[in-house]
Structure 1
Amino acid sequence: MAVSTQQQRSHRYLMASVLLRCLARTALGSLAGQVIQTTGGPVQGIPAFDKAPANATLAHLDNWQDVAVWKGIPYAASTDGANRWRPPQPRASWNTTLVVDRFGDGCPTTPGQSPGTSEDCLNLNIWSAATNSTSTKLPVIFWTHPAGGSGADALFDGGGMAARGVVFVNYNHRDGAYGFLALPELTDELKKDFAKNSNTSLPDSLASGNWAVLDQYAALRWVHANIAAFGGDPERITVVGQSAGSAAVYHMVNAPHSLVPAGVIHGAIAESGIRDPRDPLAASLAESYNNASYALQLGAAFLKANNATSVADLRSRPWADLKGTSSFPGSGGGFRPTLDGYALPDTYARLLAQPPSHAVPMITGNTRDESGAEYGRTMTVAQYEAALTNQYGNLTSRALAAWPAANDSEAGEAYNRQWQDMSKVSSWGFAQGWDNATLSKNPIYTYFWDHAPPGQNQGAHHMSEINYVFNNLYKTDLPWQAQDYAIAQRMSAYWANFARTGDPNGPGVGVNSTSLVDWRPTLVNKTVVMRVGDGWGEIPIARQEQIELIEEYFDEQVPF
């Protein structure tokens, strides 16, 4: 098989000294150093840690020597040339063992990115502490990164979760124009591709523009087919993502069985992203999508920006030379998934009103200082009143009474509380829809994260929970304190328990009790959410008059 220079660098054989370390770890029970057979060909991993991670005792990583990692395993062919803006294509098999000791290239988002980016980027990474690849059957977390991320990001390191007895997988997918370009010519190609390779009847509304989404489904299918060889249980895969990754989670649980077969998904965790479809932020935050007509307008603008007349013309150019890959003047937004009636079958509102394709237990929630809330915000009372008037219109007087601000020092905090309460009510509203759609057979758990990591000034910001849920504080250079490690033990235990059983409750490694604080499913008649971070346990989503106002405000919106 012909391979690129980057592949040769990424998959070259280890030096003898590294191989010896692999064999030493194997003697201790790790899979590192063993040859693992995949559907594409044999691969060989390495130890995830070459020394004890920082504060391993506080992090309860006593088994760090058992954790193996496989970096940059290809799950599909390169997306360059004729494969640019096509569904992910099968990778040619290999016979020689790939020693996957380095992360593969990340996918392009915009031109001019740093080295380590190419169109040969559809690869994934696996962390496992299994000692027997054929019979261990550990639960699996399949992680989708937020927009602009990659599987190589330190924040998404899976060693800490692997030490919890969970096989952790992250992966790369296309993004920006490379992942979401829609054009009539591409739609025609897509229909021919599907007609040739699938017996599934396709909707008349089928449109191009979901290359990234198709990548995500392909990576999930690869994991289901191969994860048993790495000690994982293919019948216990929990799909997890944050921000744009949480949108991917929602797409997966609603994907048609021709793209994600029944039984592949065991559970779902959507961090910072899944909201009540009536919430206006659902149309503007990371889970938003374009309708097909708008996606085609954006595609036409992309053609014009590149002085191109055809897809062939665009494919003939190096990816880094393409212009205007984010958004265009007057476009009102950039490249994102396309509502095509297939990969994204319907609007969020209509999907939430019917049983999902994959009815599974779910966790969803938000952080304190995101989605409109801004840590340390300052504003005058006049600015505050103007902002609420612009938002609530004829409901303004009730909003000002619900979140009062007597002076300028209170205005910024009142405005933040309004956004925070809206996030909690919005998560609760989505949970009601999920519970109704699944006939209460698939519980949903909601959370509100309020811990600010040390050494930064953004509070409990967007993405601030990730280090804790993955128990990988050792990968981020912040002045962690003992309380941070204690919080990480609880958070990672909830996520690991959920991956095992579909229920976050149960014993947790390093937690100072035999079980965690009880986290009950969100119920129709209980307006509460699970507080996690600086405190633990159920809290009201808001006061009753605030809930009623937000619900009335939502009812005035066009559902997304």
Structure 2
Amino acid sequence: MSAADLLRASADETIAPAIDGYVLPNTVYNIFETGKQNDVRTLIGSNSDEGTLLTMPWPIYAIKDVDEFQASVRKRFGDKADEVLELYRSDSDNESKQAQVDLSTDKLFTWQMHTWAQLQSTTGKSNVYYYIFDKGQPGPSRFETLGAYHSGEIVYAYNNLDKVNLPYTPEDYELADRMSSYWVNFAKSGDPNDDKLPFWAPYDAETDQVMTLGTKLGMIEMPRRTYMNFFDDYESELRSSFKE
């Protein structure tokens, strides 16, 4: 097996914390599900194109064509593969590349953060503030085509656009100013809101509203609800299988 094959194989493995009985007495999901988490106010979220940084730029990870994508889905998801391929359509090579990005984004990031928000809002008493960052980086940059990629929000959240040599627009600077204000407010009081910013409502699993941070800023319905429903069911079946 080549080095590239080894890297791709390792990327397919599940990354999970070790349950040592001390730091983690149980799985993170079970801890939150039973209300045994550290019940503190939380600000969490993910980016709309997390998967691009993990797939498109790096040939050792990127799917080459539709056949390879569909084969990888069937290998990973087994009897759920047809359902996955219906959700993440891949009728052409170009579609398969986007499907890989969307699947990676939802499985590794969006579902994790959405589930965290749902569990905290259900079993905890402290508010959780949940966002989806949806702003691509301006060009010229090798990241320009990656959309709202993994870690792309950091320079905005800490208002550091002046540290990056890119042609940011007034819209970028306004977003950075508002995001950093939310972050500072939360650090000071556990609430991102003040009387100058658009209101950021605490997450409620019943209404499933999230804060979108991008070209638009405000509360919206969870945009990946259908995909989250699939992974809710899929992960639930996995947890049940481990109990048997």
Give the TM-score range, shorter chain.
0.7 to 0.9
Say which of 39, 43, 47 aligns to 1:363.
43
1:346 Cα offset (Å): 4.0
Q: Which amino acid aligns with 1:385?
A: Q
Q: Counterpart of 1:350 in structure 2: which amino acid?
A: N
Structure 1 residue 444: deviation in Å? 0.9
Equivalent of 2:115 in 426, 429, 435: 429
CA contact (8 A) 2:209 2:222 kept: yes
Q: C-alpha separation between the residues in 2 aligned to 1:506 and 1:375?
A: 39
Closer/same/farther in 2, CA of residues 482 and 375 from structure 1, 3 Å limit: farther
Which amino acid letter does the alignment assign opposite residue 84 of structure 2? A
- In 1, Cα distance between the equivalents of 2:56 and 2:211? 21
What does residue 518 of structure 1 align with? Answer: 199
Q: Amino acid of the residue matched to residue 542 of structure 1?
A: R
Checking the alignment, whether the CA contact within 8 Å between 1:527 and 1:541 is kept in structure 2 is no
- Paired residue for 1:150? none
**1:465 Cα deviation after fit:** 1.3
Query: Which of structures 1 and 2 has the bigger CA Rg?
Result: 1
| 3-state SS of paired residue (1:445) | strand
Higher relative contact order (CA 8 A, sep 6+): 2
Amino acid at match of 2:173: Y
Cα distance change of structure 1 residues 528 and 400 upon mapping to structure 2, 3 Å threshold: farther
SS of 2:238's partner is coil
Assess if the C-alpha contact under 8 Å between 2:31 and 2:37 holds in 1: no
Q: Corresponding residue for 1:380?
A: 65
Q: Secondary structure of the residue that 2:126 maps to in structure 1?
A: coil
**Equivalence for 2:179:** 491
Amino acid at match of 1:519: W
Can you list the C-alpha shifts for 1:105-137, whole angstroms capped at 9, x where unaligned?
A: xxxxxxxxxxxxxxxxxxxxxxxxxxxxxxxxx
Residue of 514, 533, 542 corresponding to 2:224:
542
Deviations 1:202-260 (A, max 9, x none): xxxxxxxxxxxxxxxxxxxxxxxxxxxxxxxxxxxxxxxxxxxxxxxxxxxxxxxxxxx
Q: Could you say which residue in structure 2 is the equivalent of 1:289? A: 17
Shift of 1:344: 4.2
Change (3 A) 1:391 1:358: same
1:464 counterpart residue number: 152
Distance 1:283 1:348, change over 3 A: farther
SS at match of 1:429: helix
**Count of matched residue pairs:** 219
TM superposition shift of 1:375: 5.0
Q: Structure 1's 539 and 416: CA in aligned 2 closer, same or farther, altered over 3 A?
A: farther
Q: Which has the larger helix fraction? A: 2
How do residues 304-383 of structure 1 correspond to structure 2 at under 5 angstroms? 339=20, 341=22, 343-356=23-36, 358-370=38-50, 374=55, 379-383=64-68
State the Cα deviation string for residues 436-493 of structure 1 (Å, max 9, x = none). Answer: 331xx21112112122223433322322211111112233333433322111011111
SS of 1:488's partner is helix
Alignment of 1:196-211 (within 5 A): none
TM-score (norm 1): 0.36
Structure 1: gaps spanning 5 or more residues: 1-280, 292-338, 508-514
Deviations 1:146-192 (A, max 9, x none): xxxxxxxxxxxxxxxxxxxxxxxxxxxxxxxxxxxxxxxxxxxxxxx
Instruction: Provide closer, same or farther for how the CA distance between residues 363 and 484 of structure 1 changes in structure 2, counting only shifts above 3 A.
Output: same
- 3-state SS in 1 of match to 2:201: coil
How far apart in 1 are the matches of 2:173 and 2:29? 39
Partner amino acid for 2:112?
A: S
Superposed displacement of residue 495, structure 1: 0.8
CA 1:552–1:386: 2 relative to 1, 3 Å: same
Matches within 5 A, 1:141-540: 284=15, 288-291=16-19, 339=20, 341=22, 343-356=23-36, 358-370=38-50, 374=55, 379-422=64-107, 423-438=109-124, 441-454=125-138, 455-458=140-143, 459=146, 460-507=148-195, 515-537=196-218, 538-540=220-222
* TM-score (norm. length: structure 2): 0.75
CA contact (8 A) 1:361 1:442 kept: yes
Secondary structure in 2 matching 1:290: coil
1:450–1:532 contact (8 Å) kept in structure 2: yes
C-alpha spacing 1:520/1:390, structure 2 compared with 1 (3 Å):
farther
Amino acid at match of 2:231: I
* Alignment RMSD (CA, Å): 2.9
| Shift, 1:394, TM fit | 0.4
> For residues 162 and 186 of structure 2, what CA distance do their matches in structure 1 show?
23
Q: Which runs of 5+ in 2 are unaligned?
A: 1-11
Does the 8 A contact of 2:49 with 2:102 survive in 1?
Answer: no
User: SS of the counterpart of 2:89?
Assistant: coil
Compared CA separation, residues 357 and 401, structure 1 to 2 (3 A): closer
